[in-house]
Amino acid sequence: MNSIVIHNGTIITMNSALDIIENGMVCIKNDELVKIDSLESDSPIPEAETIIDAKGGIIMPGLVNSHTHLPMSIFRGLADDLPLSVWLNEHMFAAESKYIAPESVRIGTLLSCAEMLLAGTTTCCDGYFYEDHAAAAMNETGMRAILAQGVIDFPAPGVPDPKGNIDNAEAFIQKWQNISPLITPSIFCHSPYTCSEATLKKAKDLANTEAVLFQIHAAETKDEYVRIQTGHQTTPIGYLDRIGIIDKNTLLVHAVWLDDNDINTIAARGAGVSHNPESNMKLASGIAPVPSLLKAGVTVGLGTDGCASNNNLDLISEMDTAAKLHKVNALDPTLMDAASILKLATIQGARTLGLEAVIGSLEIGKKADVIIIDAHKPHLVPVYNPVSHMVYAAQGSDVRDVIVNGRLLVQNRKLLTIDIEDIMEKVIKLSKTIKK
Amino acid sequence: MNSIVIHNGTIITMNSALDIIENGMVCIKNDELVKIDSLESDSPIPEAETIIDAKGGIIMPGLVNSHTHLPMSIFRGLADDLPLSVWLNEHMFAAESKYIAPESVRIGTLLSCAEMLLAGTTTCCDGYFYEDHAAAAMNETGMRAILAQGVIDFPAPGVPDPKGNIDNAEAFIQKWQNISPLITPSIFCHSPYTCSEATLKKAKDLANTEAVLFQIHAAETKDEYVRIQTGHQTTPIGYLDRIGIIDKNTLLVHAVWLDDNDINTIAARGAGVSHNPESNMKLASGIAPVPSLLKAGVTVGLGTDGCASNNNLDLISEMDTAAKLHKVNALDPTLMDAASILKLATIQGARTLGLEAVIGSLEIGKKADVIIIDAHKPHLVPVYNPVSHMVYAAQGSDVRDVIVNGRLLVQNRKLLTIDIEDIMEKVIKLSKTIKK
């Protein structure tokens, strides 16, 4: 028997044909999608332990947020409208050194998971400190995640001596390799200007040995570009490529300051890019050349970045911003159409994480990460094109139900695996100390 | 006795000092704000017919949407990712000529009002055809609005012979001058390239005679800029100024393609500008030089434009986009900080409509247009800065209660003056015909 059957909705499959199925039905058996089809209203609904009526809404794959710093939700709105260097060095690093600890990482992660689930994100790709505690919290929620211990050549929360940063990351990877099918460990080097060449190479070696994703913020700001040019006589991407960092298991986050050579390098190596337009806009880092990256064949995912630089984890509003930003930047309204944008947030995002065979579309045999959108709201009426609606009209709060790996995590906007009242109370209490 | 007392929230006043009041209380008597103060938790709540507990949320002035085409909600998502000329000429004008009629204007307007109210907008400034029917619908809702009959030198819905366009607008103004204190009539000339010089001058004369706001789309696209340069040997703003259109009762919508002279002209004449970043992005029209306009002393409001070019009427997400767009465009993250942006959507928006003495801030003696934001949600926790929260973290759906002119129109997200189920059913039915 089916575990879950969802019926009475329009399915956006995000399969390679981008099929849309009216009067759609999705059958889930345990953690897997076993049937995706239309069901006429007079046909019987297949038997299932749980039957979910989408009530004419949209049924689609869960969204994939390819770049987060989950615990930073505790700093949401702490410092805004500042240059990245001031924001990072004077505010974030200072706040982190003082307030990032196992418990704040735990509650910040759970707050972020709650926010993401309630806005339709079922998978995220994270990098932070005390990531072991982030992973433990994530493991409670039932969400899917790639989680990385951060590596930086300064004293960091939980890693007072940077000499231990790679060992620390190694221990994290080894611990989390087999704990849950939903959690995949990874390693995150902060950037080419905060990690030495030796650190970057050691971290990449570790990623290769353990066969995990290597993540790095790269070519984010003009300042970084100038620093790397001065220190290494090449671009950030040129430098990272020269030292062997860029390959198909690398996720380059931001990738704003790229020249044509850089784009060709990224394409040739098969690396993925996480595009974070709202963070890049808010910190005035620049506009990543996503249309050119896509044209060159690079796989691009969409990310929100951490809460402190966005200030939300809402991938639905990120889609809207991404679509509009690239159109106005190129003065071409046909660029980055709604379907291209929805791909970034689903199947392409999954591909940047090496999960394209598992998630990112509704196809038989894939894991059941499914969201249902309540379209019976004034701002979603009428529906001419459900894909356009998801990008240009929907809000995070339109997500009604969320299933990850066949398990219902949000039902009628109620979180089933997170005690959100308890978490909000704890974060508010901590924020009062931070505010002082 | 007070009609309404709101307590237990943080007040963003948007007064000239931008005062924030913790433990705030707002007292309303009939249609007016009579007290705005803090109230300690052990103090008694003043007597009132209705007492509203904001439950620790945010209490602020209702938002002012300075540019809409209300009935176009029936075309939401009908045509996306197209150049403005194709979108307008092949899709919108075609759909309008076929489907815009008194009843579609009525239901489209009511759908738009529902969406706006549920996202915290209490005043809008509209221009469309069959505006008499839009006004009648608006009048049912209790919202505040500036409403204009559209003028264009082509056959238009309800005005088959363009020779009658000014008379039609005059009749609209005269009819609606005294029907409701909430509805102020106005006139809207479509653009300097779709209205002749004679039409523009006659319309402006009418606006002067009737003492109403004159609205016009101006300097929206590069194409318009080139056409006006070719036809009139000056910029769109230069042309409109030469023929006497631009003064303090003029609202220039979009104002994207401006040179320094244009900015100085707008400032010198005291005209207002409606900035519609999401529409300008989606249609790839360009980025209005808002920081330069503000520096020159121009009053700028924020607008969503019609649903068909956005595809929503959510001024809260428009604020977020506006803040981020100007930062990345200038590569300066300190530009357009959260407070500046919130001014555009409240007090400055009111000023562009000539309503700054009436609405746009919570100050004693102003009309009671007040919204309450539910901040007890994962994506709004913690709160370090309520102004930053409204711009960077809040969603339209966080608006809980809406009061216009002292009357509760939305309570716990329920619309009290619009039968939204009936309207959605009618719009969905119409959309099925349009889809064919």
| pLDDT tens readout for residues A293-334 | 999 999 999 999 999 899 999 999 999 999 999 999 999 999
- Stretches where chain B sits below pLDDT 70 are none
CB pair distance less than 8 Å for B284 and A331: yes
Higher pLDDT, B84 or A393: A393
Name the residue in chain A with its Cα closest to that of B83: A333
Q: Where in chain A is the domain with CATH 2.30.40.10?
A: 2-61+367-414
**Crossing angle between the packed helical segments A420-435 and A102-118, to the nearest 10 degrees:** 120
Give the angle A307-A312-A315 at the CA atoms, nearest 5°. Answer: 120
A198 Cβ contact list (under 8 Å, min separation 6): none
- Cβ <8 Å between A395 and B335: no
Q: Which residues of B touch A289 (CB under 8 A)?
A: none
CATH number of B2-61+366-405, picked from 1.10.10.10, 3.40.228.10, 3.40.50.300, 2.30.40.10:
2.30.40.10
Nearest to B106 by CA among B436, B427, B429: B427
Instruction: Say whether pTM exceeds 0.95.
Output: yes
Closest in A82, A111, A335 to B378, CB measured = A111
pLDDT, residue A353, reads: 98
Residue-wise pLDDT tens digits, A48-68? 999 999 999 999 999 999 999
Q: How many Å apart are CA B337 and CA B387, to the nearest integer?
A: 10
Q: What is the DSSP string of B253-318?
A: EE--S--HHHHHHHHHHT-EEEE-HHHHHHTT-----HHHHHHTT-EEEE----GGGTS---HHHH
| d(CA B199, nearest CA chain A) in Å | 31
Q: Convert the pLDDT of each residue in A12-21 to its tens digit.
A: 999 999 999 9
Task: Check: CB of residue A59 under 8 Å from CB of residue A68.
Answer: no
Structure token digits, residue A306 = 């951490």
Residue labelled with tokens 């039957």:
A51
A402-415 residue pLDDT tens? 999 999 999 999 99
Residue among B81, B114, B431 minimizing CB distance to A378: B114
Mean per-residue pLDDT, A418-428: 98
**A81/B334 touch (CB, cutoff 8 Å), yes or no:** yes
Can you give the pLDDT at residue A42?
A: 84
Distance from CA of A419 to the nearest CA of B (A): 11
Query: Per the CB < 8 Å rule, is A331 touching B222?
Result: yes
Average pLDDT of chain A, as a whole number: 97
Decide if A383 and B77 are in contact by the 8 Å CB cutoff.
yes
Separation between Cα atoms, residue A313 and residue B338, nearest integer Å:
18
**A286 contacts in chain B (CB < 8 Å):** 328, 331
Question: Is A282 a residue whose pLDDT tops 90?
Answer: yes
Sign of the Cα pseudo-torsion (B301, B306, B312, B313, in order): positive
Q: How close B126 comes to chain A (CA, Å)? A: 18
Interface contact flag, A393 B311, Cβ < 8 Å: yes
Which of B87, B286, B392 comes nearest A77 by C-beta? B392
What pLDDT band is residue A124 in, cutting at 50, 70 and 90? very high
What per-residue confidence (pLDDT) applies to A210?
98
Residue of B nearest to A331 (CA): B284
| Right CATH for A63-352 from 3.20.20.140, 3.40.50.720, 3.40.50.1220, 2.170.270.10 | 3.20.20.140
Distance from CA of A318 to the nearest CA of B (A): 10
- CATH 3.20.20.140 in chain A, residue ranges: 63-352
Are the C-beta atoms of residues A349 and A67 closer than 8 Å to each other?
A: no
- Is the pLDDT reported for residue A238 higher than 90? yes
- The answer as to CATH 2.40.110.20 being correct for domain A2-61+367-414 is no
With cut-offs at 50, 70 and 90, classify the pLDDT of residue A286: very high
Q: Is the pLDDT of residue A122 over 90?
A: yes
- Is the pLDDT at A37 greater than 90? The verdict is yes
What is the reported pLDDT for B311? 95
